[in-house]
């Protein structure tokens, strides 16, 4: 019955995938799990269900829809466009920037300040304004760093927005029996639409009529070959059947009419896109690192603060004072500048990458790329050029290799043979593709061609080898032509000869090799027509198998000079009756085509390998093609065999092969479907070189998850909509900028503007470098927390006048030390980082124990001593001897006591003491600065001597040090500073007091590095190498 | 673990040693008699007595318990100025000129007599309540000590008092002792507590004989003289002092 015939399809999604995803979501968010599961479940059901088009509907649709009905349906279903993924509201994004772990701590500190201010104000205390300033400063710090982070995020979102194509798509629709051009978003289910070559398919369409219609499904399925569309239902899977054309795919040639069966988000593309949005974004490793680290810092800050709060209470400080101590310790201990430093370092690298055509959407992705241990790469468009290209020719019983490089820089083959001339003639003439006009100055590979992929390949090939094909065709006037169709499997045309005195016609034919061979009686070898005997047939078979085995599409070519007596000039050729010979032809040769790998890819894959990164190919294409490309780019390395290869070599059944012997493995989607996740994980463990072919979007997701289960940090590259769920699931998704679909770009964390896989290697290198440099930066930033904290501890326990104020600490954190810590991001790598294994995310932490301990308890301790030496010097030289300072705090801070005696018997007012205290702050500040200059120099390297690395090679760092000194001078000596920011102009010698400690830091670290270099693996190395 | 503790022990001992060495070196450079720098402590600040816990002197004439603490504080403070103690320990100096004592820095310096009796009505000798019992309180004003400082550059520094802000009529009259409220030059310079052992700061007594009663009267007393700074907003005790009198009847 017609109803059966028009039964559209049942969408089948991998249940395994969905089931697995449910479990994952449940694990992650228990409260949301039920809702999410329901959503996915309903989606699955909808896709499982069958879509029926009844004969009645169809007959109405011949005339097109009634526009009023269409209007109603449009109201019901909404416009035919993909809903943009629901973005987080801007205020939430901003709020998130203000509510991190450290930020919360700072809010608490600010709140304590305000409370203290309020209470002191109520008591009529005049000095309480300090607390207000501090509260304002803290809030400003949080808000400013928040704004900075938000701006970074906003900027990267904007990059993405600029990719969106804003030109509305037009579609030809038949309504009420008339043709209209309307915006594609006005289309509704049931509309009758027309598509032709060059159009984008406006919705999911059930084809009713088609003339030579071919579509490019590569963005959906990853198949690089054009797919024929026709009314017949050929497969029960909607992705395989011929009678459905999908939304957003390109119609390459021919025309078709069809009825819209799905619009907007209900299209296959829309569903995949929504599948992608259902996948949780993985946290980036650097985010995990920083979170882990912030937790520790926050914990320690609260621990220290709490301890000293209790100590202060026990010693007998009033509650309010103890609270202020708590706040001060938090301020001293929290590295306020750290997040800004990390953000700036990452964005610097992002900028550097952008110059190399990698646009980073999510800053943290920069580092993720560096820790990547597995890259799951899509084939089409990423590893390959995404254009069919002639790669091999077989003529004169020899396989010749054509130049497949993008810029035609490769070797050409011998073109002197007569056979080649004949073959070339056939290739040029028996071809319906043509260049779009006005492209004479464009290099041939880049010219736009109207025609299908293989004809385009052949046209470009002959244009390059022969010269002006269009003119050549003019000279051989076409008398008649039979285009390619799937029943004949050949294409034929008959041409007049160039020489007007030669009255013969030339018949040229190309098609499926075996069909062509059937029609041939002779074969041309070195310009001689020889009878096609068994020997030649065997030679043909061998060549055909060889080329087919390379995953290439092979076409056969033959010709025949027609007898001028039988077919004189002006003979009326009839393509319907075929009143001309189509057998007994002369076989000229085979040409095979492939979507060739990009020139830079094999090298990039090699580099990944040396960097310890496993490259896995995951494609929707055929296994043979996939394997061939994998072998040619080095994903399957030379000498690696699959189980099947071993079986074939040893002539034993596949089951008898020891699977462990096979380094390589090709798994196709069908096998994958029947596999348990554990099995897949097992296979991934067993075979280092993997190729997945014929995979669906869900399966890509499962592959990524399985790799992650192995503990790998997975990068996924892809361009199609079908890749977008996997891109999102991956630790880092890399989309292609030119070929990539919007869905892929939306789901990705990084975009390769030049679609070049090799750019990923640059990314990995930069990512690793930034990880190393962040480590240095963080070590530098952390060090000064100790000399910031110890003044408070001494102040509380020994009751000396306060050596370092909170405002001053904020200046160190956020003003003077930012630039040097950022400048460490420009540091060159200490060793060849691309020859190391990727870091183990569980073992090689960004901030490890050695780093913290070394920074805190060794360098930080030295800095504290430097600060106190300078502090006591400044105090003593002004009349307050060290022993007098001890226990002086209560009197010192008594603002009624205007005649406090110093060690010489001089009497000081409170105001004078306050300025002296500010002098101490400044002196302590300068001590920290001087030590930090030494610190930044030692942080240049972790293992090498600074002399090996070069003192001045990092120009930015040198500038940063000079800048830091200038800023220090400015803060000290700018008039007005004492009353605004509590900086006093200090004496010159107080700059010099910390110098011995600075030198000590430098020498000590050189000794440490020497020990680490000399005795790797020793106790020293373990304890002191960070 | 033991090794690392030992390592830290050595490291910190070394650091502590280095620190001690630095401080020791620092102390070697310091003179016990004259501070290296005196710029932070000059020009001098001003302080008053009685000083209990602030700059509000509030009492009720009819309730002795409200003013006895002030009186006791004054007596206690003035003990060192008792005439016989001064005569015994210090010498009489020629008035009107700085008492410069040359010679070795370490030599003990003589101090000039400042006798309690010079404060006349505020000496607490005739009226042991310093006028508190009659609602005419005495307040002593002293200038902060600064080593080597010569106030007024040859002209004695004098004191004047006025209402800080508000009604001028609340303060009708103040008597100053000794000598119209000046600090005589002979008490300067000061040589530091190590050598100038018996030095007693000269005082100026303010006798508030007619102050508005039952009200808070903010009073500002300033030093006047060359080199004296008395108008810095950030330090209200530099060359001046502000206190509040609240005398209840």
Task: State whether A435 and A561 are in the same domain.
Answer: yes
Closest chain B C-alpha to A759 CA, distance in angstroms? 45
Q: Which residues of B touch A879 (CB under 8 A)?
A: 35-38, 40-41
| Active-site annotation of A, residues | 378
State what percent of residues in chain A have pLDDT above 90.
21
The two three-digit tokens of residue A709, written as one number: 């289960």
Pairing of strands A204-216, A192-196: unpaired
The dihedral through the CA atoms of A259, A264, A265, A271 has a sign that is positive
Write the CATH number for A467.
3.40.1110.10
Predicted pLDDT of residue B113: 92
B216 contacts chain A (CB < 8 A): no
Q: What is the pTM of this model?
A: 0.77
Do A613 and A374 touch, CB atoms closer than 8 A? yes
The whole-angstrom separation of Cα A905 and Cα A892 is 15
Domain end among A334, A366, A398:
A334
pLDDT-based confidence at residue A30 (cuts at 50, 70, 90): very low
A879 contacts chain B (CB < 8 A): yes
- Whether B144 and A915 lie within 8 Å, measured CB to CB: no
Task: State whether A491 and A640 are in the same domain.
Answer: no
Closest CA to A478 of A381, A594, A589, A575: A575
- Tally the domains of chain A: 4
Mean pLDDT (whole number) for A719-728:
79
Mean pLDDT (whole number) for A34-41:
45
Q: Is 70 exceeded by the pLDDT of residue A36?
A: no
Q: Is 50 exceeded by the pLDDT of residue A627?
A: yes
Q: Does any domain span residue A933?
A: yes
Q: Does any domain span residue A265?
A: no
Predicted pLDDT of residue B22: 94
Closest CA to A486 of A218, A199, A230, A217: A230
Predicted pLDDT of residue A800: 94
| DSSP assigned state of A286 | H
Q: Is 50 exceeded by the pLDDT of residue A45?
A: no
Q: Is 70 exceeded by the pLDDT of residue A46?
A: no
- Whether A899 and B142 lie within 8 Å, measured CB to CB: yes
B232 contacts chain A (CB < 8 A): yes
- Whether B192 and A858 lie within 8 Å, measured CB to CB: no
Burial status of residue A683 (CB atoms within 10 A of its CB: 0-12, 13-18, 19 or more):
middle
Task: State whether A308 and A424 are in the same domain.
Answer: no
Predicted pLDDT of residue A126: 59
Phi, psi angle pair for A749, to nearest 5°? -100, -15
The whole-angstrom distance between residue A475's C-alpha and the CA centroid of its chain comes to 50
Task: State whether A684 and A572 are in the same domain.
Answer: no
Do A190 and A57 touch, CB atoms closer than 8 A? yes
B26 contacts chain A (CB < 8 A): yes
Q: Which of A899, A901, A1023 to mutate against chain B (most B CBs within 10 Å)? A: A899
Give the nearest partner residue to B37 out of A878, A905, A993, using CB atoms.
A878
**Residues forming beta bridges with residue A347, ordered by sequence position:** none
Q: How many CA atoms lie within 13 A of A844 on its CB side?
A: 13
The whole-angstrom separation of Cα A525 and Cα A395 is 7
- Whether B27 and A916 lie within 8 Å, measured CB to CB: no
Phi, psi angle pair for B106, to nearest 5°? -85, -10
Q: Is 60 exceeded by the pLDDT of residue A54?
A: no
Q: Does any domain span residue A22?
A: no
Task: State whether A482 and A546 are in the same domain.
Answer: yes
Give the nearest partner residue to A865 out of B18, B36, B53, using CB atoms.
B18
Q: Does any domain span residue A273?
A: no
Reported as a single tens digit per residue, the pLDDT across A200-219 is 788 888 888 888 888 877 76
The whole-angstrom separation of Cα A426 and Cα A428 is 5
Place of tokens 């190919």: A617
Task: State whether A737 and A780 are in the same domain.
Answer: no
Reported as a single tens digit per residue, the pLDDT across A432-471 is 888 877 777 888 878 888 777 788 888 888 888 888 888 8
Q: Which of B41, B221, B223 to mutate against chain A (most A CBs within 10 Å)? A: B41
Residues 6+ apart with CB under 8 A from B44: A907, B143, B144, B145, B146, B149, B151, B223, B228, B238, B239
Say whether the ipTM exceeds 0.90. Answer: yes
Phi, psi angle pair for A806, to nearest 5°? -65, -40
Task: State whether A708 and A798 are in the same domain.
Answer: no
Q: Is 60 exceeded by the pLDDT of residue A386?
A: yes
Q: Does any domain span residue A183?
A: no
Task: State whether A569 and A426 are in the same domain.
Answer: yes
Q: Which residues of A touch B145 (CB under 8 A)?
A: 901, 905-907
Task: State whether A536 and A674 are in the same domain.
Answer: no
Place of tokens 């005997």: A533
Closest CA to A286 of A810, A708, A844, A751: A844
**Residues forming beta bridges with residue A392, ordered by sequence position:** A401, A592
Predicted pLDDT of residue B27: 93
Among B residues 57-86, those touching chain A with beta carbons less than 8 Å apart:
none
Give the domain extent around A730: 358-384+599-755
A876 contacts chain B (CB < 8 A): yes
**Can you list the domains of chain B with their CATH numbers?**
45-248 (2.60.40.1660)
- Whether B147 and A905 lie within 8 Å, measured CB to CB: yes
Mean pLDDT (whole number) for A877-887:
93
Q: Is 50 exceeded by the pLDDT of residue A35?
A: no
Which residues, given as ranges, of chain B have pLDDT below 50?
Answer: none
> Quick one: residue A500, left, alpha or beta (phi over 0 = left, psi -120 to 50 = alpha)?
alpha
Write the CATH number for A741.
3.40.50.1000
Residues 6+ apart with CB under 8 A from A900: A891, A892, A894, A907, A908, A913
Task: State whether A603 and A565 are in the same domain.
Answer: no
Among B residues 99-128, those touching chain A with beta carbons less than 8 Å apart:
none
Phi, psi angle pair for A471, to nearest 5°? -70, -40
Q: Does any domain span residue A252?
A: no
Evaluate the omega torsion of the peptide bond into residue B85 and state whether it is cis, within 30 degrees of 0: no
**In chain B, beta strands by DSSP E:** 46-49, 56-60, 138-143, 157-163, 171-177, 182-183, 203-211, 216-224, 240-248
Task: State whether A581 and A441 are in the same domain.
Answer: yes
Nearest CA in chain B to A908: B41
A873 contacts chain B (CB < 8 A): yes
Q: How many CA atoms lie within 13 A of A131 on its CB side?
A: 23
Reported as a single tens digit per residue, the pLDDT across A587-626 is 999 999 888 888 888 999 999 999 999 999 998 888 888 8
Task: State whether A293 and A375 are in the same domain.
Answer: no
pLDDT-based confidence at residue A801 (cuts at 50, 70, 90): very high
The whole-angstrom separation of Cα A25 and Cα A275 is 13
Residue with more model confidence, A20 or A428: A428
- Counted across chains A and B, CB pairs separated by less than 8 A come out at 127
Predicted pLDDT of residue A224: 64
B52 contacts chain A (CB < 8 A): no
Report the b/e string of B105-122 with b at 16+ CB within 10 A: eeeebbbbbbbbebbebb
pLDDT-based confidence at residue A86 (cuts at 50, 70, 90): low
Q: Is 70 exceeded by the pLDDT of residue A377?
A: yes
- Whether A869 and B194 lie within 8 Å, measured CB to CB: no
Closest chain A C-alpha to B31 CA, distance in angstroms? 9
Q: Does any domain span residue A613?
A: yes
The whole-angstrom separation of Cα B214 and Cα B245 is 9
The two three-digit tokens of residue A595, written as one number: 């979507």
Do A989 and A926 touch, CB atoms closer than 8 A? no
Q: Is 60 exceeded by the pLDDT of residue A8?
A: no
Nearest CA in chain A to B197: A905
The whole-angstrom separation of Cα A583 and Cα A3 is 42
Write the CATH number for A963.
1.20.1110.10
Nearest CA in chain A to B56: A896
**Helix (H) / strand (E) containing A909:** none
Closest CA to A303 of A35, A105, A57, A15: A105
pLDDT-based confidence at residue A85 (cuts at 50, 70, 90): low
The whole-angstrom separation of Cα A504 and Cα B213 is 138
The whole-angstrom separation of Cα A732 and Cα A752 is 13
Q: Is 80 exceeded by the pLDDT of residue A235?
A: no
Q: How many CA atoms lie within 13 A of A440 on its CB side?
A: 4
The whole-angstrom separation of Cα A140 and Cα A150 is 15
**Helix (H) / strand (E) containing A632:** helix A623-633
A898 contacts chain B (CB < 8 A): yes
**Helix (H) / strand (E) containing A75:** helix A67-77
Q: Does any domain span residue A724?
A: yes
């Amino acid at each position: 019955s017609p109803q059966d015939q028009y039964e559209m399809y049942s969408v089948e999604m991998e249940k395994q995938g969905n089931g697995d995803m449910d479990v994952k979501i449940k694990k992650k968010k228990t409260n949301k799990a039920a809702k999410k599961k329901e959503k996915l479940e309903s989606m699955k059901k909808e896709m499982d269900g069958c879509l029926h088009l009844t004969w009645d509907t169809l007959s109405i649709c011949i005339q097109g829809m009634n526009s009023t009905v269409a209007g109603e349906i449009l109201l019901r279903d909404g416009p035919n466009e993909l809903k943009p993924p629901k973005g987080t509201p801007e205020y939430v994004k901003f709020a998130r920037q203000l509510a991190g772990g450290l930020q919360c701590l700072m809010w608490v500190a600010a709140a304590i300040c305000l409370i203290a201010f309020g209470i002191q104000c109520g008591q009529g205390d005049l000095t309480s304004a300090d607390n207000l300033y501090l509260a304002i400063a803290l809030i400003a710090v949080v808000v400013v760093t928040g704004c900075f982070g938000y701006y970074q995020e906003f900027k990267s979102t904007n990059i993405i927005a600029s990719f969106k194509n804003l030109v509305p798509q037009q579609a030809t629709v038949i309504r009420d029996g008339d043709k209209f051009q309307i915006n594609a978003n006005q289309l509704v289910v049931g509309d009758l639409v027309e598509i032709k070559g060059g159009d984008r398919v406006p919705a999911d369409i059930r084809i009713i009529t088609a003339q030579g219609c071919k579509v490019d499904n590569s963005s959906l399925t990853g198949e690089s070959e054009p797919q024929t569309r026709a009314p017949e239902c050929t497969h029960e899977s909607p992705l395989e059947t011929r009678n459905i054309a999908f939304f957003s795919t390109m119609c390459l040639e021919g025309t078709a009419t069809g009825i819209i069966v799905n619009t907007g988000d209900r299209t296959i593309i829309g569903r995949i896109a929504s599948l992608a949005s259902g996948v949780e974004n993985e946290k980036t490793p650097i985010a995990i690192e920083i979170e882990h680290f912030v937790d520790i810092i926050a914990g320690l800050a609260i621990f220290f603060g709490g301890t000293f709060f209790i100590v202060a209470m026990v010693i007998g400080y009033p509650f309010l004072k103890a609270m202020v101590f708590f706040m001060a310790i938090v301020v001293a201990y929290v590295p306020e500048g750290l997040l800004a430093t990390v953000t700036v370092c990452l964005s610097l690298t992002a900028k550097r990458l952008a110059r190399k055509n990698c646009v980073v959407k999510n800053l943290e992705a920069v580092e993720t790329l560096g820790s990547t241990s597995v890259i799951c790469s899509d084939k089409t468009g990423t590893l390959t050029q995404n254009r069919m290209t002639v790669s091999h020719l077989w003529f004169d019983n020899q396989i010749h290799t054509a130049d497949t490089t993008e810029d035609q820089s490769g070797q050409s083959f011998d073109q002197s043979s007569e056979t080649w001339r004949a073959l070339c003639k056939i290739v040029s003439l028996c071809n319906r593709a043509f260049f779009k006009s006005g492209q004479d100055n464009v290099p041939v590979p880049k010219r736009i061609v109207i025609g299908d992929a293989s004809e385009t390949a052949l046209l470009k090939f002959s244009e390059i080898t022969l010269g002006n094909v269009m003119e050549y065709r003019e000279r051989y006037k076409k008398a008649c032509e039979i285009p390619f169709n799937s029943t004949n499997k050949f294409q034929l045309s008959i041409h007049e000869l160039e020489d007007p005195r030669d009255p013969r016609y030339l018949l040229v034919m190309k098609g499926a090799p075996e069909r062509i061979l059937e029609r041939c009686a002779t074969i041309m070898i070195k310009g001689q027509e020889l009878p096609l005997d068994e020997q030649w047939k065997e030679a043909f078979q061998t060549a055909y198998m060889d080329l087919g085995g390379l995953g290439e599409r092979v076409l056969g070519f033959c010709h025949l000079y027609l007898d001028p007596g039988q077919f004189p000039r002006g003979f009326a050729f009839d393509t319907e009756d075929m009143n001309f010979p189509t057998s007994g032809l002369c076989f000229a040769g085979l040409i095979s085509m492939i979507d060739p790998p990009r020139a830079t890819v094999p090298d990039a894959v090699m580099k990944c390998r040396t960097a310890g990164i496993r490259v896995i190919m995951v494609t929707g294409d055929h296994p043979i093609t996939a394997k061939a490309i994998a072998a040619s780019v080095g994903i399957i390395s030379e000498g690696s065999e699959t189980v099947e290869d071993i079986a074939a070599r040893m002539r034993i059944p596949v089951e008898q092969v020891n699977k462990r012997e096979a380094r390589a493995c090709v798994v196709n989607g069908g096998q994958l479907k029947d596999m348990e996740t554990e099995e897949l994980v097992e296979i991934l463990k067993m075979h280092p070189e993997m190729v997945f072919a014929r995979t669906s979007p869900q399966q890509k997701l499962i592959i990524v998850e399985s790799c992650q289960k192995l503990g790998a940090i997975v990068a996924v590259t892809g361009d199609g909509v079908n890749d977008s769920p996997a891109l999102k699931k991956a630790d880092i998704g890399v989309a292609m900028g030119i070929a990539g679909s919007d869905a892929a770009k939306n789901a990705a964390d990084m975009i390769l503007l030049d679609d070049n896989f090799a750019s990923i290697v640059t990314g990995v290198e930069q990512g690793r470098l930034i990880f190393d440099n962040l480590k240095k930066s963080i070590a530098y930033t952390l060090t000064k927390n100790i000399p910031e904290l110890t003044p408070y501890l001494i102040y509380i326990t020994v009751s000396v006048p306060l050596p370092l104020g909170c405002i001053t600490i904020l200046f160190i954190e956020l003003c003077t030390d930012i630039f040097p810590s950022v400048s460490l991001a420009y540091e060159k790598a200490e060793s060849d980082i691309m020859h190391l294994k990727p870091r183990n995310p569980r073992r090689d932490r960004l901030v490890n124990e050695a780093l913290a301990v070394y920074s805190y308890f060794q360098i930080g301790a030295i800095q504290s001593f430097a600060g106190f030496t300078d502090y006591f010097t400044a105090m003593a030289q002004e009349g307050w001897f060290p022993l007098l300072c001890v226990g002086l705090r209560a009197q010192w801070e008594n603002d009624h006591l205007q005649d406090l005696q110093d060690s010489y018997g001089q009497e000081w007012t409170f105001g004078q003491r306050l300025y002296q205290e500010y002098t101490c702050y400044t002196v302590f500040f300068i001590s920290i600065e001087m030590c930090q200059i030494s610190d930044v120099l030692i942080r240049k390297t972790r293992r090498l001597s600074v002399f090996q690395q070069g003192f001045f090679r990092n120009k930015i760092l040198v500038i940063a040090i000079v800048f830091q000194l200038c800023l220090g001078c400015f803060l000290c000596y700018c008039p007005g500073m004492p009353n605004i920011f509590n900086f006093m102009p200090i004496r010159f010698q107080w700059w010099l007091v910390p110098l011995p400690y600075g030198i000590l830091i430098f020498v000590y670290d050189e000794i440490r590095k020497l020990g680490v270099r000399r005795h790797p693996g020793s106790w020293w190395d373990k304890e002191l190498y960070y | 673990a033991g090794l690392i503790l030992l390592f830290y022990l050595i490291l910190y001992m070394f650091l502590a040693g280095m620190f001690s060495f630095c401080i020791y070196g620092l102390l070697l450079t310091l003179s016990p008699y004259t501070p290296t720098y005196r710029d932070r402590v000059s020009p001098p600040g001003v302080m008053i007595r009685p000083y209990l816990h602030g700059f509000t002197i509030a009492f009720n004439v009819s309730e002795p318990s409200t003013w006895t603490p002030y009186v006791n504080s004054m007596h206690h403070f003035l003990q060192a100025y008792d005439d016989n103690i001064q005569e015994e320990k210090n010498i009489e100096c020629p008035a009107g000129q700085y008492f410069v004592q040359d010679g070795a820095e370490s030599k003990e310096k003589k101090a000039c007599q400042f006798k309690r009796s010079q404060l006349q009505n505020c000496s607490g000798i005739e009226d042991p309540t310093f006028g508190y019992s009659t609602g005419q309180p005495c307040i002593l004003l002293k200038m902060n000590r600064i080593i080597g400082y010569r106030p007024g550059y040859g002209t004695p520094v004098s004191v004047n008092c006025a209402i800080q802000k508000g009604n001028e009529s609340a303060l009708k009259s103040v008597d100053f002792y000794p000598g119209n409220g000046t600090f005589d030059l002979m008490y300067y310079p000061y040589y530091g507590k190590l050598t100038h052992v018996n030095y007693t700061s000269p005082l100026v007594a303010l006798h508030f004989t007619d102050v508005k009663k039952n009200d808070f009267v903010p009073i500002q007393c300033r030093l006047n003289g060359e080199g004296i700074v008395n108008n810095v907003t950030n330090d209200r005790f530099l060359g001046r002092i502000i206190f509040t009198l609240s005398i209840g009847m």
